[in-house]
Structure 1
Amino acid sequence: MMRCLFTVLGLLGGLLAGTAAQAQRLPAPARLDLSGLYNPLRRAAIDTRREGDSLRLYVRFTDGSVLRPGQLLELLGWSSYDARAPIWRTTVGLSAHRVLRDGSVAWVECCVALAALQNVRVLAVWPAAYVPDDPAAAAWLTLNNEHRTRAFVLVDTAGLPLLRRHVRVGELFGVDCYGPDQPLTVRRYNAAFAPALPPQSTATLATAKSRSLLIEAEQELRAGQLVRFASPGLYTVQPADAGPPLGVLAPDGEFPEITTASELITPLRYLTTSEERQRMEQSTAPKRAVDAFWLRVANNREAVARQLIRQYYGRVEDANALFTAHKPGWMTDRGMLYLVLGPPERVQRNAGEERWYYSNAGYGSATYVFRAKPSTFTPDYYELVRRPEYEMLWYAAVEQWRTGLNAPRVEAGR
């Protein structure tokens, strides 16, 4: 179904080659600042497909200028984020016919022997001329069991991998299987998930009752058929013999962008009281009620209100693009902090954890710890470790929004 961009053979891998000096130039991933991975306009993205005894890597560089003919593409693997040195390393030579360009974006794909990745848990790909914490040039992947075994990827109508876990209702997409096209089973679940709780909340997710998701609908599709979701919800897509199912969220509208009045109101739960939201929802003109809220926040300064709206809902869109899993990205723990506090100033990862660092920005400095909690639907999901000491910092950050202090500077008199 999908045309191959190119094939690189013979990447059998092995243990790290090179001198001790080379290894010293490659610090442990836990020592790198990975905050650039949360810049949706610059970050490189990566996905995989199992192909027999090999693993195909699909890498998209948002800034295609980082790939130049004659350059080497570095592929490195570590046993964990805490590992001091990579355990596997290889390079791929780039030439014009090995890079597919689509406007400013560039695509690369290559195959690696699975045996070479047996003990690799952290994989990174970047052009040799750059550094591994440059978000435009380095693609990072926590190599889990799904990535090793899933023998298909979701693709757009042009055959390019989607590299995302959401497909809008009505959007056409395909399933590119290794080998012959296979019949598909698509299941929709009765999923209704709540937005993230505040970081100081004592009603943590650990106290929530576990529940199983019931299948609401199931559909069998013929091999090679383009697919579209007719209703919003949480789905799984699974070819007959192509490995585990893939969880996909199907949102309405122009996701990750939000445009309708209800979409504008719900993310305000982090800044408003339930009574304020209820008045907006019950208004005969809810969109006008949202505008009135921001105008009050801006002390009736229209230019400031416009800046605040652009900034807050821009973060909603970014969070949806970055963190969407079994629920929209803004509703996740990382999305919640991204909306209210902004992109983290520094991010570090270690075994099973991710740490976000913020310096003093008017509400105090803090470190937020997220712990990995993978599931069938979302293998790369993280939950915040909630702490009472976050309460004052959180309310101070919310107050900055509610008093218009988060707005960028605007010209006097505007």
Structure 2
Amino acid sequence: MKSISRATIGLTSSVSVLGVVLLAVLVYCCIHFWQAKQQEETANRALHAVEHLLLKPTSEYSPEDVKHGLEEVLGGQGRTQARVVDSRGNRMFGPEVFFNGEGSIREFSQVFETELPQLQAKRVELAVSTVDDERFLNFISGIFASSIVLWILVSVLISMRLIRLVLRPINRLTERIHNLGPRSLDVVLDDHKAPLELRPFIDGFNRLLGQLRENREQLKLFNSNVAHELNTPLSSLTISHELLQRRKLIEGEDLQKIVGDHLDELDRMARIIRSMLFLANANQGRKLQLQPVPSLRQLVVSVAEYLEQLAEDRDLRITVKSDATVEAETELIKRAVSNLLSNAIRYAQANTEITVHITLEAERVWIKVSNEGPTIDPLKLNRLFEPFFRAEEGRSDTGSNHGLGLAIVAAIAKLHGGDVFASSENQVTVIGFSIQTKRQSASG
């Protein structure tokens, strides 16, 4: 790939040389035009002098006087030579060959009638030598050619110098970027001394560094949470197996209880791993298998019926309002709705109602789940969709809640071109997501 500096030098040099060449051609044409005009004026003066002499009335000059005057006018000295030809084309006065056939000439002629019967002059032929003019043009052409070659060298040197000055801040910026590493992401590039043209790039790069810093912190937190979530069941399994080694014989209900606890811990680890794999695939842009969903309300109701027993255990009622038709991957929508309802059941106050609102806004269908319960701190509200984040203090109920439910909801919404929503005030919390679709309708 050609470098910017070389391309710029070539472009600026070509443009400047082209300008000089055009100027030289223009000056050359002007000089040539001026010389042609001078030649025409010289020829016209000579022709007028001859015509004036030959057309004199006979009362003023005798034919001999006219011939003598013609010889003086047509002496053929200097740059101009002339001859007079009669009506039969015979030369009367002047040279037979202009300038003895040497050098370049420009010929002019004029026809006229004379009143002298003895002088049957019919036409005057005039030649102007252009040798000196051509020499001058050749001299000018040589000067122009030398000037163009010199200007090419000068323009290249000037362009190289200017390019170095222009690229100096870019080279400094490039050097600073090369020095950045995983441990120096906290550095912010200073744009106060940078040229105005580079400031948008520096601002964008600083924003990118900020996103990298944020992603790094999220990755650290994610790794810490993963280690914690997997360490708890692994520690429990390790302790249980150590107890089994110490006790030689375990039978009956004790054995069943230990095996059941082991299965619960293994199931918990399996669910965490499956959720993490789903998030990884979703972040890589997993391709959706879209299919028409004629009634989003019916889909939500089917999920609510599946969770009905959990809701009844806490005296909770689930209602679904409105309906919509969408195109989506049904199983993913069911999973997102299930996570939202499970979250609402977990934190809703007993003997209250959980409401699922299905609304249309522009080209998006929103599914929002509201429940009555403790108001969530606004600072924590913005982090609800982060992996392993829990709004409640401590890590209670970790057996059934591993903190990935709402993160999965956000990933499903992103796959469907939608977004997530969360609000909490006056002991009412609303959490939901949207689906972007072109095929949609609503009914009350």
Say yes or no: TM over 0.5. Answer: no
Greater share of helix residues, 1 or 2?
Answer: 2
Name the TM-score class by shorter chain.
under 0.3
Larger RCO: 1 or 2 (CA < 8 Å, sep 6+): 1
